[in-house]
Structure 1
Amino acid sequence: MKAKEQILTLKAYQPGKPIEEVKKELGLTSVIKLASNENPFGCAPAVKEAVMDELDRVSIYPDGYAAEIREKLSRHLGVQARQILFGNGSDEVVQMFCRTYLSPSTNTVMATPTFPQYRHNSVIEGAEIREIPLNGNGDHDLDEMYKAIDKDTKIVWLCTPNNPTGTYIPKDKLVSFLDCVPSDVIVACDEAYCEYVDAPDYPDTIELQREYPNLVVLRTFSKAFGLASLRIGYGVAHEDLIQVVDPVREPFNTSRVAQRAAITALDHLDYLKMCKARNREGMVLYEQFCDQHGLSYYPSQGNFILIDFKTKQGDEVFQYLLRQGYIVRSGNALGFPTCVRITVGSEEQNKGVIDSLTNLLVSKTVE
């Protein structure tokens, strides 16, 4: 049996090592995972209670239309309910848009390095992929991305804040870009980390959709809301776009537990505010560490920081921290071979990582 040729070029997603495996392999009693940009403070306590209550109904299919969370979220965002498309994480929303609009006769434009699922799903659909390198500051090169658009371009992907750099696209630059992009080309802004952003010029993309009906906004409950394991994300777009894409959505694609958790999370935005404040405090600690040791880093508006260790490979620093009981993400796998991406954790976790990295830099060894 022969698969599609483009499938043969793909590799299955490789998650980081599980905590228990690292403990067993290295003989450690405590291992902290700071590799997947999860919220170290978890979800609001009320969300946990709602999840436990919903377990009594796990034998019943969820609402396939997700009506209750749809209505709740539409009020929260100030959009019509029919403008929202829910997915099993925002990854599935990416997949649905690729499946709907991309084919071997089309192309799609994206930055590199960026979130890999844009490329992965585009390859599956056989589309031509036009990747534009980030500029020297780790930002999207919007001028070059615009130049890559032609009559066969269907989707342009913008990850803001970008994973793995944490950099964002300011409102004036995004608006200038949208003014130039043909109206029949979808511009998908992936804002998985938007709840962490405190930059005053970060755009209100939901509001911009009123003027730019080709603008799609992708968001998730996985990051700041602390619901990563429940897999619920969403896209917001003009209702005509949603009506076209919705038929490719799998039935019952978000669980009733995930829907209930998301509904409850939206009732506790004070908890979200706390997580954002604690994240910024942790980010400052890492920035001060980098400044103190002459390390460059990308100014991040997410809940992670990409640090350049210059003379050391990311894999070396990764292995060193692993032996200290910290799982981070090596830049070798992210397109930044001398960097390491670290999720901002709790105060105790951040200080532990910084102490370990300080010892590494002082000792000049990874042995």
Structure 2
Amino acid sequence: MVSIAQKVRTGVGDIQPYVPGITDDELKHRFGLHQVIKLNANENALGTSPRALAAIRAEVETLYLYPDGGSTLLREAIAKFHGIDAGQVLAGNGSDNIIKMLSETFLQPGDNIVVPFPSFSQYNFGAHVMGAHVIEAPLRSDFSYDVEALARAVNDQTKLVYLCSPNNPTGTILKHSEAEWLLQHLPEHVMVLMDLAYNDYSTNPHRVLETPALLADPRVVTLHTFSKLYGLAGLRVGYALASEEVWNYVHRVREPFNVNRLAQRAAAAALDDEEHRRNSQQHAAVSQAYWAEQMHRVGLMAVPTEANFVLVRTGDGRKTVQDLMQQGMMVRAGFAGLDEYVRITFGTQAENEACVRALADLQLGN
């Protein structure tokens, strides 16, 4: 009898499925806990935008209707927010969906992508689905970008270069001058995908920004998500900006109705929620300073971060995760090349303080 493995398309068996962090329900069940502190998924500690929640309540009675297949209302809201034309906007079921669509549009077997290392695993996933190769360009020892290394990694088969700023999981930024240098030194056949999921948490004046000149480059695509700053992770909605010509081809592989009704309405409303956006940014800024100070105090090295999370060196990341889980605390480990580190999402002030105490206790016990 022919096995299922023999029927599967070549290469699919080699793809490693994305493994999300343990859920709060799983942790409660495993250790018999009644309450947990969830700091493992870079979610917004302030919750969902109140305007988005109001939009969801207003829309919930219409769920028997299909969503707008073109996400017109949302795309127009995004275009207004960025001061661009709606034709330059693509909406997706989270930025993961957009990464996969870009991979399906531009990659084929024999091509390759260049990614910083370590960085977000979904870039690799999209390439592997299409039978393309992944070339990793390591970050510097301080986890800053090495754009010269990225440029050297590119060859004639390279189709896409990914840049994540602030980078997940390191929290380090790509400077605007570095992005400009890279674009000047890359061949015309290479598309540059800038993942700016956490960029609104950074106040660094040197960070890469979506200037008119940057968006005018037909090779550039910028990715955004409503999961982080706007607190809409459960609805899965993201978007990307690029030239209309890029989207004319991506739309050919886009599934119909790829963004649901609630997500479209909630995301459009969240863009107008200036108070929630400002509060979320302020919370991240306060937390960035707090974690830097406290990790120095307890003798742990924390990578200076521009995001809503911090990468902390504990010596054995997986052991730290297990030890903290027993105390009802969830942080993230398991990133390739970062076995000595854990990534900790900023929680409320009380949650941050509890996690610092737990880390200090573990440090004293080592």
Which TM-score bucket, shorter chain as reference? over 0.9
Structure 2 portions without partners, runs of 5+: none
2:331 matched residue in structure 1: 328
1:211 Cα shift?
Answer: 4.4
Partner of 1:315: 318
Q: List per-residue Cα deviations over 1:270-328 (Å, max 9, x = no partner).
A: 2111111012112211111121133222211111100012xx31011111111111110
> In the TM superposition, what are the counterparts of 1:1-367 in structure 2 within 5 Å?
1=4, 2-309=7-314, 312-330=315-333, 332-364=334-366
CA distance in 1, matches of 2:357, 2:294: 10
Residue 85 of structure 1 deviates from its aligned partner by 0.8
Measured in 2, the distance between the counterparts of 1:180 and 1:276 equals: 34
Letter in 2 for 1:341: R
Q: Partner amino acid for 1:214? A: R
Deviation at 1:334, TM superposition (A): 4.0
Matched residue of 1:248: which SS? Answer: coil
Query: What is the SS of the residue equivalent to 1:156?
Result: strand
Displacement of 1:45 after TM fit?
Answer: 1.8
Q: TM-score, normalised by structure 1?
A: 0.95
TM-superposed CA distance for 1:269, in Å, is 1.6
Counting aligned pairs with the same residue, the percent is: 35
**Deviations along 1:126-175, whole A, 9 cap, x unmatched?**
11211111210112321111112122211101111111001011111111
Residues 76-104 of structure 1: per-residue CA shift (max 9 Å, x gap): 00111000111100011100110011111
Report the 3-state secondary structure (helix = DSSP H, G, I; strand = E; otherwise coil) of the residue aligned with 2:276. helix
Partner-residue secondary structure (3-state), 1:329: coil
Q: Distance in 2 between matches of 1:152 and 1:360?
A: 47
User: How far apart are residue 206 of structure 1 and its match?
Assistant: 4.4
Cα distance in structure 2, aligned partners of 1:167 and 1:38:
18
C-alpha distance in structure 2 between counterparts of 1:36 and 1:278, whole Å: 17
Shift of 1:192: 0.6
The alpha-carbon deviation at position 184 of structure 1 amounts to: 2.4
Structure 2 Cα separation of the partners of residues 234 and 50 of structure 1: 19
- Specify the SS of the correspondent of 2:11: helix
Deviation at 1:176, TM superposition (A): 0.8
- Runs of 5+ consecutive residues of structure 1 not aligned to the other structure: none
Amino acid corresponding to residue 239 of structure 1 in structure 2:
E
Q: 1:209-232 deviations in whole A, cap 9, x for unaligned?
A: 344221110001111110001011
Q: Deviations over 1:15-73 (max 9, x none)?
A: 22221221122122210111010101111222212112211011100001111111111
Deviation per residue, 1:103-137 (Å, 9 max, x gap): 11311111111100110110110112111112101
CA distance in 1: counterparts of 2:336 and 2:351, whole angstroms: 23
Superposed CA RMSD? 1.3
Q: Mark the CA change 1:210 to 1:49 in structure 2 (over 3 Å): closer, same or farther.
A: closer
